[in-house]
Amino acid sequence: MEVQTGKIISAQKEPTHFMLAAKIVILVATVVLYVMQMLIAVPLFGAFVLEENWGELDNTRLSAVGILLAVALVLDLVSFVLAIIGSAKQEEPKTGMTILIKALFIPFFLINITLYILSFLGMMNPFLMWAIPLVMCIGVCLTYAYMFMSSWPDIIYMIIYLIKNKRRPKTGMVLGLIFEFFFVLDLIGAILVHRAYKKSLEETV
């Protein structure tokens, strides 16, 4: 049964699952990123912390890291397309899954910070110190991209919702979406968006 309201609810006769698929693809991309991260973390941790040889960052390992990064980026693009389709169909945005995904990313970000510190320690010589700003810039950009990929299904959904319904979003929804653009605050933002969405559903009953 189709429902016509100004609230954020599903509005298709036959349920589709593009938004769910978008979130699942992001979860798969998260696993890929963790595998990529471990390929770098294991040898660095062994060398700098335990002073043991747990593998070399050779060309084979670095090539595998590059391939996994490319796979993660492709999955991100797939989730982006799925999110657009699902949002256009006004499917349920699965905001609860966004909270789960962002929570799963917390260890990833903590490990990333540790890796950057270990990398900088390894560059503390006159011949490599020039590369520290470059590595820092690349690291911050990639980490932000990982964070933002978990936010865009909700952001896309709200943009399309506003265009189709010509309604003002609630303050909690706007604040939550703004928070999703910033480190640490993005998890709080996901929770605010989820609560605002659930509240909007309750108001339609």
Structural domain contains residue 85: yes
Structural domain contains residue 38: yes
Residue 2's pLDDT band, with cuts at 50, 70 and 90, is very low
Structural domain contains residue 6: no
Residue 204's pLDDT band, with cuts at 50, 70 and 90, is low
Structural domain contains residue 68: yes
Structural domain contains residue 41: yes
| CA 38/CA 25 separation, integer angstroms | 20
3-class secondary-structure state, position 53: coil
Percent of the chain with pLDDT over 70: 82
Is-above-0.85 flag for pTM? no
Residue 183's pLDDT band, with cuts at 50, 70 and 90, is confident
102-108, Cβ contacts within 8 angstroms, sequence gap of 24 or more: 102/147, 102/150, 102/186, 102/187, 102/190, 103/187, 104/27, 104/30, 105/30, 105/146, 105/147, 105/150, 106/187, 108/30, 108/33, 108/34, 108/37, 108/146
Q: How many domains does the chain have?
A: 1
Structural domain contains residue 103: yes
Structural domain contains residue 10: no
**3-class SS shares of the chain: helix, strand, coil, % to 5:** 75, 0, 25
Distance (Å) of CA 193 to CA 34, 99, 131, 164, 165: 26, 10, 39, 19, 18
Q: Locate tokens 């070399």: which residue? A: 56
By residue range, what is the domain housing residue 74? Answer: 18-204
Name the residue with higher pLDDT: 128 or 28.
28
Q: pLDDT averaged over the chain?
A: 81
| CA 9/CA 90 separation, integer angstroms | 7
pLDDT by residue (tens digit) across 27-85?
Answer: 999 999 999 989 888 887 776 666 666 566 678 888 898 899 899 989 999 999 999 99
**Cα-only R_g, the chain:** 20
